Amino acid sequence: MNLMQTLFPNIDWPEIARACLDTLLMLGGSLLFTLALGLPLGIWLFLTARGQLHAQPKLYGVLSLVVNVLRSIPFIILMILLIPVTQVITGVSIGIRGAIVPLVIGAAPFFARLVETALREVDRGVIEASQSMGATTGQIVTRVLLPEARPGLIAATTVTAVALVGYTAMGGIVGAGGLGALAYQYGYNGYKPDYMLVTVALLVVLVQVLQMLGDRLVARYSRR
């Protein structure tokens, strides 16, 4: 820390630490709810697609349209559009709690598509063998599809977590807090490049840690 204070004497390091904590809280909370919503949505996309266990082209078309629309809206615009919804759900429109609702709505459709893709990679023969033995759809999903697609699902979670880091940084521009808010407030508006450099470096480190952890888990379960 002494070296960092020497290199960046104008940085308020306790404030940087608080911003890091805020970013981690936003990331953890939004990732948890994203997985809780995106996983079942991705499973439904897979099951209702043409040629799958519960093929319903019309329902799939509706789900696919909703997912595509939400994915196409830039996150900053989505966050502004959802201010009334966020206010109703959380009671606030800014800060950590205020950021989680748009973060989840922005990331869950993205994660759902990745889940659908991972499930499509499961060997069709394994699914048919389970059907021939009388397995129900629920049993096929929980005992065949999800275990077989585990490496792909872990990779999807990693990609989503990395995307959420970027979303939290963008959310700082409209009051979400965290490292993005410091970069915008001090680095951009305050013309303090040292704040911009430090916050960007910390975000890069966070992304690298998430990616390395995800890659190790994927490799571990792929070997199994």
pLDDT in tens, 123-138: 989 998 998 898 898 9
**CATH at residue 136:** 1.10.3720.10
For the segment 26-45, the average pLDDT, to the nearest whole number, is 96
For the chain, give the mean pLDDT.
89
State the amino acid at position 128 in one-letter form: E
Asked whether residue 41 is domain-assigned, the answer is yes
What is the structure's pLDDT at 2?
57
Collapsed DSSP state (helix, strand, coil) of residue 2: helix
* Cβ atoms 167, 103 nearer than 8 A: yes
Residue 32: inside a domain, yes or no? yes
State the total domains in the chain.
1
CA pseudo-torsion sign 88, 21, 105, 74: positive
Indicate whether 73 belongs to any domain.
Answer: yes
Pairwise CA distance, residues 151 & 1, whole Å = 38
Check residue 1 and give its pLDDT: 52
Give the three-state DSSP class for 191: coil
Domain assignment present for 5? no
Radius of gyration from C-alpha coordinates of the chain = 20
Residues spanned by the domain of 130: 11-223
Give pLDDT tens digits for 63-119.
999 999 999 998 888 988 988 998 898 888 778 888 899 999 999 999 999 999 999
Is the per-residue pLDDT at 203 higher than 90? Answer: yes
Residue 1 lies in a domain: no
CA distance 149 to 126: 12
Q: Is 55 left (phi over 0), alpha (psi -120 to 50) or beta?
A: beta
CA pair distance 173, 78, nearest whole angstrom? 13
Q: Is the pTM of this model over 0.85?
A: yes
pLDDT for res 4: 59
Give the Cα separation of 137 and 126 in Å (integer): 13
Q: Look at residues 188, 186, 200, 206 and name the one whose alpha carbon lies nearest to residue 15.
A: 186
Q: Answer yes or no: is 6 within a domain.
A: no
Task: Kindly state whether residue 201 falls inside one of the protein's structural domains.
Answer: yes
pLDDT for 181 equals: 86
Residue 91 lies in a domain: yes
